[in-house]
Each structure stands twice: as C-alpha cells, then as structure tokens.
Amino acid sequence: MIETDKFQFIDQLLEQRQQTHQLRSLHLFDPEDAVYGVRGDRRLLNFSANDYLGLSKHPALIEAAQTYAQRYGAGSTASRLVTGTYSIHHQLEEQLAIACGREAALLFNSGFQANATILPALLDRSALVLGDRLIHNSLIQGILASGARLMRYRHNDLNHLEALLIKASSKSYSRILIVSETVFSMDGDRSDVDALIQLAETHNAILYLDDAHAFGVMGKGGMGLAACRTDVDMAIGTFGKAIGVFGAFITCSQKVKDYLINYCPGFIYTTALPPAVIGAVVAALTLLPKLEDRRHYLSQQADNLRVQLQHLNYTIGNSSSHIIPLILGDAEKTLDLSNWLEERGILATAIRPPTVEAGMARLRFALSSQHTPEQLEYLVKTIGAWHESTD
C-alpha cells in the first residue's frame, strides 16, 4: 500500500500562500446597521461592503422579504423550467425589462453563476473572446470553461482592442465576443461604453458587459451604464451590491433570452431564487428611481475621498466611482495598513494577488451613501496617522 498523504498537495499550496502573504481565511463580521458591524469585541466602521446605497438594511426591503416568504414559502422548490417559475419571478423579469427599456430580462442566482454559465452557452471552441485585462474572475471562468480562444486587451485600451478586432477579421472564428465591465470591481474606473458599442458594431462582434458595480448607482434612475442600453447585446446586473440583496440578471433581446432558457445549464439546472429574495429585490427596484439624492451624495463623497487620498500622495489609479483603491503594491504593507485601521475601528480589507495582479495589492474602499462626512474624515485622518508612523 502507498503510504503518502493524498492531501499533501493541499499542505504545499497553502504553505505557498502563507509564504507570499496571500493566505486567505474567514473572519466573522456581524452587521449592526448599514455601515457598522461587530468583529469580536470591536465595533467596526465598514468600508469594504458593496452595499453602496445602504439598501441591505432598508425597512421596505426587509418587510417585502417577509411578506413574500409568508405568501410563497421559504424556497422556490424547483428549477425555473420545472415548477420554479412563480408569478413573482415572471413579474420581476418584466419589471426589470421595462425599467431598463430592454426587450427581455432573465434572472440568475448570482452574478458569478451568470457569468460562469452564460459565456460557455454563447461560445464554442472556434470562438474568440477579446476581454479587458482586468475582467472579473467569474467572466474568466466562463470563458475558460467554453474552450474559446481568449485574448486580453490592455486595460481600457480600446486602440489595442481595435487592433485585435482587425487582426481577427482575417481569421475564421465562429463568433467574436467583446467582454468588459462598466465599472471595474477592484479599480473603480469605468470603460467607455459608447466606444465599445461602436467597435462591436463596426466589427460585428457580440458585446457582453458586466454592470455589477454600476447597477443601482449610475445611469438614469440608477439603472446602470449598460443594463439599460439597447445597443449593448448583453448586460449583467447583480442584486448583491447596490440593490443590497442577492441574485443577478441579464438584459438582452427576447431571442437571446429564449436561447439561454434552452441552452444555459446554470439557468436550467438550479433551483429558482427564493421568494424572500424576489420580494426584497422588487422593493429595491421600486425605490431605486427615488434615490437620486443618495446617488448624488455618494458620488460627491467619492470625489472628496479621492482628493484627500491624493493629498496624502497615495496612488488611487483612475477611480471615477464609489470604489476607490489605495494601491500600495506590497501585500505585507497592505495588510499592515488594514490591521492598523482595524485596531482603530475601521474595516478595510486588504485585497492581494491573485485577486489583483502581482505588485498591485491594495485596500479597496467601497463607499456607501450611508457613510457620513465625519466618518470619511475619520478614515482619512487614520490613514494619515499610519502614513506618518511609517515615514
């Protein structure tokens, strides 16, 4: 009998993460309200959540979740194609399509699941994907699973994208997909949606945009930068970020929706979203057009924080949204700042490779409309104190 430990590879790989200061672990954090939570015996001001409008704690969402659960049950009991399409799923899809001015919308159980399963359904081994260098892991997983050829263009460099499109035109790919985010999750900068639409049209490519971090916060009535554009072939929005709940959707043509209902395994072979989730999302979508003040304030606060961090001479990339990275580069130094902040009552999780590229470790500040100016001031003051202590 062979006596070697069959899980030795796990020891080795975890040790590797430990050595490079990249080991991840779970830490408890129980929310108190929209911006505070408790970890151990410490109350922390949270700058790491994606609850951009504070909706996760909104009474209207909580009440709707309770009402829907009372009326329809705790779970949806089956996949959408069996008995899991309740009237509430259908109505939410209608509500989304109308609010976005699109022909159709289709629900997915999460943004990760949507990207990881829609992309393989659209692609085959003879397809080409041109993806921005910084696209989210869920998009990469979907592309890799498809077996299609993936070429990455330099981040937001549309000249590079165009050059690749021109080169691809002389080859016989079954189809070409352009994949980008509208607001990039770790950098908070934006892609040029108009230019992407133009390039896709000129080169007859399919345009697939992930609107996860814009939906709820940007665009007319908070309906995102791509989800509501009829000239974007497919846009993914999530309910787990600004909407404050859970789940995701795609906006697209009726034809694409029909196709996905037939060919997308991550839609077909999974239990439908539970009623409480649908109720909370419906309540959030109803509120969304009325939250212009929150969106405006959030954008102003983000402008302020950028200016202050730049005054401290920190690199914040090209952020132009409520997501602001403080890029320190070195993973150990980033952890040090994160710990320093936590000891002083601020939660700002260190984001390290492989989530970001090597040498690009950072704190990612995700602002909420519920953060007060005083809380932001405290954040900047505390970072400033760390800055002085390390000089």
Ligand X SMILES: Cc1ncc(COP(=O)(O)O)c(C=O)c1O
Which residues form the catalytic set? 50, 136, 181, 185, 210, 213, 241
Alpha-carbon gap, residue 172 to 149, rounded angstroms: 12
Cis geometry, peptide bond prior to residue 354 (ω within 30 degrees of 0)? yes
CB of 191 to ligand X, least distance (A): 11
Burial 347-363 (b: 16+ CB within 10 A, else e): bbbbbbeebbeeebbbb
Alpha-carbon gap, residue 40 to 236, rounded angstroms: 36
CB of 320 to ligand X, least distance (A): 16
Q: Is 356 in the site for ligand X (CB under 6 A)?
A: no
Alpha-carbon gap, residue 56 to 65, rounded angstroms: 11
From the list 109-117, 323-331, 333-341, 367-375, the region that binds ligand X by CB under 6 A is: 109-117
Question: Do 344 and 45 contact (CB within 8 A), yes or no?
Answer: no
Alpha-carbon gap, residue 157 to 162, rounded angstroms: 9
Q: Is 364 in the site for ligand X (CB under 6 A)?
A: no
CB of 115 to ligand X, least distance (A): 6
Rank residues 181 and 382 by Cβ distance to ligand X and give the closer one.
181
* Phi and psi at residue 238, to the nearest 5°: -120, 155
CB of 241 to ligand X, least distance (A): 7
Rank residues 22 and 141 by Cβ distance to ligand X and give the closer one.
141
Shortest-Cβ-distance residue relative to ligand X:
111
Q: Is 112 in the site for ligand X (CB under 6 A)?
A: yes
Q: Is 238 in the site for ligand X (CB under 6 A)?
A: yes
CB of 226 to ligand X, least distance (A): 11
Question: Do 130 and 196 contact (CB within 8 A), yes or no?
Answer: no
Alpha-carbon gap, residue 296 to 45, rounded angstroms: 22
| Number of residues located near ligand X, criterion CB under 6 A | 13
CA distances from 51 to 16, 30, 119, 245, 370 (A): 33, 14, 27, 9, 9
Contacting ligand X within 124-183 (CB under 6 A): 136, 138, 181
Binding mask 212-231 for ligand X (x = CB under 6 A): x-------------------
Choose which of 185, 334, 349, 382 interacts with ligand X (CB under 6 A): 185
Question: Do 275 and 72 contact (CB within 8 A), yes or no?
Answer: yes
Alpha-carbon gap, residue 276 to 239, rounded angstroms: 13
CB of 131 to ligand X, least distance (A): 12
From the list 108-116, 264-272, 371-379, 381-389, the region that binds ligand X by CB under 6 A is: 108-116
Q: Is 351 in the site for ligand X (CB under 6 A)?
A: no
Q: Is 210 in the site for ligand X (CB under 6 A)?
A: yes
Q: Which residues bind ligand X (CB under 6 A)?
A: 110-112, 115, 136, 138, 181, 185, 210, 212, 238, 240, 248
